[in-house]
Amino acid sequence: MTLTERLEALRSRIARACAEAGRDPSGVELLPVSKRQPLPLIQEAAALGFHRFGENYVQEGAAKAEAAPGLEFVLIGPLQRNKAKAALQAFREILSLDRPDLADRLRRLAEELDVVRPVWLQVDLWNEATKLGGCAEADLPALLDALGGDARLPLEGLMAIPPPGEATAFRQLAGLRDRLQQELGRPLRLSMGMSGDLEAAIAAGSDQLRIGTAFFGERAS
């Protein structure tokens, strides 16, 4: 399958899911996830109108950002403190902010580098995806405190990778988003849904789908 064919199939899946959920497809952002995909393929996607891509690894994303200055990359993978500076330099947004010490470090470095980088709080409501990162709901207040409403790291929304087969996961996340919006008195977006579960994510109100294989095809191992 070519990229164009895959994109067409993906768009019809999204359109069908939106129709079933009574949602306007223009309200669902498609973020292509380009981890372990070669730059020429990413450039092919750019020619189809995509300019922002999700990457999991700081080093890989930074190399791509340097090689393709016209494109934008956002970090969706776990971030270690010692890579925080490189991440702020290479990525336009950080979707995987999940701990107070990381928030502290990002704030200090964002000031030093004089950059603004929207952040998403990665949450884990299932207490099992530790390898994938994510903050438990009970720890969110401490994380928000550490972020301190810093204008250099504006809070964009919540990101999550629910375990497969967890049928109510997306609704739980939507509920958390609603509660947090109420508390903070400002809108928050929800980044949830991947190649295998985008329909359920759309039904539960996802604002952003992060799509790797259904967009680019299988990744290099």
Q: Which residues form the interface with ligand PLP (CB under 6 A)?
A: 33, 35, 56, 76-77, 161, 194-196, 210-214
Q: Which is nearer to ligand PLP, 18 or 95 (CB)?
A: 95
Q: Which is nearer to ligand PLP, 189 or 210 (CB)?
A: 210
Query: Three-state SS for 134?
Result: coil
Q: Which is nearer to ligand PLP, 107 or 211 (CB)?
A: 211
The residue assigned the tokens 């200055």 is 69
Tokens of residue 63, six digits: 């190399």
The residue assigned the tokens 């490189």 is 86
Query: Three-state SS for 165?
Result: coil
- Strand order across the 52-55 sheet: 29-32, 208-211, 189-191, 155-159, 119-122, 93-97, 72-75, 52-55
In the bound complex, which residue of the shown chain has the CB atom lying closest to ligand PLP?
212
Nearest approach in angstroms of CB 132 to ligand PLP is 7
Q: Which is nearer to ligand PLP, 88 or 214 (CB)?
A: 214
Q: Which is nearer to ligand PLP, 181 or 213 (CB)?
A: 213
Nearest approach in angstroms of CB 108 to ligand PLP is 25
Nearest approach in angstroms of CB 129 to ligand PLP is 10
Q: Which is nearer to ligand PLP, 107 or 124 (CB)?
A: 124
* CB-CB contact of 161 with 129 (8 Å): yes
Tokens of residue 193, six digits: 């849904």
Nearest approach in angstroms of CB 180 to ligand PLP is 20
CA distance 44 to 12: 20
Tokens of residue 35, six digits: 């981890």
Nearest approach in angstroms of CB 5 to ligand PLP is 17
- Alpha helices (H) in 22-90, listed in sequence order: 39-47, 58-67, 84-90
Q: In whole angstroms, how far apart are CA 80 and each of 84, 115, 165? A: 7, 19, 28
Nearest approach in angstroms of CB 60 to ligand PLP is 12
